[in-house]
Amino acid sequence: MLGYIIQRVFLMVPTMLGISIISFIIIQLPPGDYLTSVLAAMADSDVTFTADQIARMRENYGLDEPMYMQYIQWIWGIVSRGDFGYSFEWNRPVSELIWERMGATLSISFLSLLFVWAVSLPIGIYSAVRRHSIGDHIATLFGFLGLAIPNFILALTLMYVSFRYFGQSVGGLYSPEFVEQAMSWPKFVDLLKHVWVPVVVIGTAGTAALIRILRANLTDELNKPYVLTARAKGLPEHTVILRYPVRIALNPFVSAIGWVLPQLISGITITAIVLNLPTAGPLLLRALVAQDMYLAGSFILLMGVLTLVGMLLSDILLALLDPRIRFH
């Protein structure tokens, strides 16, 4: 088992490298470099530099070196010092800006994942066992709708509905009066009042997808001979279904972390922009629009790494759940 985990971690390295390269490409994509941006800003405030000064600054920032050296320096900064570069828009190191936002992103993603599981498991089982019943048709319809409505449209709609019919604004994570306060019980209650909107919005697509997958897998498993064996033993029907086919159809549930997580993080990015949540999304968009590339690239890098870690966890859980994977 330990060997398996080590092997998985080892396999992650090239993917991680790929993700960092893509992030770096995004940082480098806009025309001009970091210094051009700084100089432009300086020029705005009437500070000018001589060509000589500019060349020295270039050297200082390492911008005169070839691209791969800049990449290595960037990565080395992150790995050795946790230095993600400098946000020129905020005039602060990226690392100062990023962690709080990433924490909120992670928490909401995790809550959404729990929501996805909690909802799709019972509905999926019900749908598969009672195929073609009215409940199954409703679940299927809900599934299709959930998949078809893009996150941000769902968020906008929820916003509109709650504003129009409940007179309540659902943006943000806290009501305005709590934002600046320290964490307290009323503030926590207020958080719960707000957090369900992003969780539902982000989780819907994943829930719909998982219901469909679980229904399809379980339908397959229900026809397997081992289910008949279990019935022939004389087990009651619900025990048969829960102990055998459901146990095996659970695999995609665990492996779902691997692909639901990127989806959730994707979803939260855009949903957060619509709902104005203090997560990475709005900051990322702002950084991108302002071409504050180190900040933007770091967010993209961290989001990629986050999904990779999620995939690793799902692989490990899967191996725990299914002995066949463990022994191969």
Partner 1 sequence: MSQINPINTVEDRPAITLLSDDDNTGSLEVASQWRLIWIKFRQNKVALFAGVVVLLFYVVAVFAEFLAPTLPSKSQPRLTYAPPQSIGFFVENEAGERAIQLHVNGYGMTVDPESLRRSFTVDKEVIIPVGFFVKGEPYELWGLIPMERHLIGPLNPKDSMNLLGTDKLGRDVLSRMIYGARVSMSIGLIGVFSSLLIGTVLGALSGYFGGWVDLAVQRLIEVISAMPTIPLWLGFAAAIPLTWSPLQVYFIITLIVSLLAWTGLAREVRGRFLSLRHEDFVTAAKLDGCTTKRVIFRHILPSLTSHILAVVTLAIPTMIVAETALSFLGIGLKAPVVSWGVLLQDAQNIRTISSAPWLLVWPAGAVVVVVLAFNFLGDGLRDAADPYEH
Partner 2 sequence: MITESCTESRTSNKKSLALSVEKLSVDFHLRTHILHAVRDVSFSLYRGQTLALVGESGSGKSVTTRSIMRLLDSQARQTSGRITLHSENSDVVLTDLDPKSEAIRKIRGRRIALIFQEPMSSLSPVHTIGSQIAEAIRLHHGGTKKTAMESTTKLLEQVEIKNPAEMARRYTYEFSGGMRQRAMIAMALACNPDVLIADEPTTALDVTTQAEIMDLLKRLQESRGMALLLITHDLGLVAEVADEVAVMRFGRLVEGGAVDDIFHAPKTAYAQSLLASTMRLERPAEARASRQLDDDSPMLSVSGLGKSFGIVNWRGKELHSTKAVEGASFDLYPGENLGIVGESGSGKTTLGRMILRIIEPTAGQVMYRDAQGQMADVTRMNRKALTRFHRDVRLIFQDPFASLNPRMTIKQIVGEPLVVNNGMKGAELDARVAELLELVGMERSAMERYPHAFSGGQRQRFSIARALALNPRVIIADEATSALDVSIRAQILDLLIDLQKRLGLSFLFIAHDISVVRYFCDRVLVMHHGRIVEQGDAEMICTAPQDPYTQSLISAVPNPDPRHKRMINRTRFISS
What is the distance between the alpha carbons of residues 181 and 192, in angstroms, rounded to a whole number?
16
Q: In Å, what is the CA distance from 169 to each residue of 36, 196, 299?
A: 41, 13, 28
Structure tokens at 216: 């399809």
| Residue number, 33 or 322, with CB nearest to partner 2 | 322
Which one-letter amino acid corresponds to residue 144?
A: F
Which of partner 1, partner 2, none has residue 244 at its interface (CB below 5 to 8 Å by kind)?
A: partner 2
DSSP label of 294: H
If one asks whether residue 323 binds partner 2 (CB under 8 A), the answer comes out as yes
**Which member of 63, 191, 290, 321 binds partner 2 (CB under 8 A)?**
321
Interacting residue with partner 2 among 226, 242, 276, 289 (CB under 8 A):
226
Structure tokens at 193: 């009042």
Contacts of 234 (CB under 8 A, 6+ apart): none
- If one asks whether residue 313 binds partner 1 (CB under 8 A), the answer comes out as no
Residue 57 is which amino acid? M
In angstroms, rounded to a whole number, what is the distance separating the alpha carbons of residues 141 and 149?
A: 12
**In the bound complex, what is the minimum distance in angstroms from residue 226's beta carbon to partner 2?**
5
Applying CB under 8 A, which part among 43-51, 156-164, 195-203, 245-253 lies near partner 1? 156-164
Please tell me the distance from the alpha carbon of residue 239 to that of residue 247, in angstroms, as a whole number. Answer: 11
The partner in contact with residue 9, picked from partner 2, partner 1, none with C-beta cut-offs of 5 to 8 angstroms by kind, is: none
Look at residue 226 and give its three-state secondary structure: helix
Between CA 108 and CA 279 the distance in angstroms is 9
Residues 175-204 as x/- pattern, contact with partner 2 by CB under 8 A: ------------------------------
Closest CB to partner 2 among residues 184, 229: 229
Task: Compare residues 95 and 169 and give the one whose CB is closer to partner 1.
Answer: 169
* CA–CA gap between residue 10 and residue 312 (Å, rounded): 11
Is-contact 87 292, C-beta < 8 A? yes
Closest to partner 2 by CB, 7 or 184? 7
Instruction: Give the Cα separation of 195 and 198 in Å (integer).
Output: 6
232 lies in the site for partner 2, by CB under 8 A: yes
71, two tokens: 């990449």
| Per-residue tokens: 211 | 């219901």
| The only residue of 206, 262, 278, 314 in contact with partner 1, by rule CB under 8 A | 262
CB of 229 to partner 1, least distance (A): 22
Contact status: 265 vs partner 1 (CB under 8 A): yes
Angle between helices 94-129 and 134-148 (to 10 degrees): 150
291 binds, among partner 1, partner 2, none (CB under 5 to 8 A by kind): partner 1
The residues binding partner 2 (CB under 8 A) are: 224-226, 228-237, 244, 247-248, 321-324, 327
By the criterion CB under 8 A, which residues form the site for partner 1?
14-15, 18-19, 22-23, 26, 29-31, 144-145, 147-150, 152-153, 156-157, 159-160, 163-164, 169, 171, 259, 262-263, 265-267, 269-270, 273-274, 284-285, 288-289, 291, 296-297, 299-300, 303-304, 307-308, 311
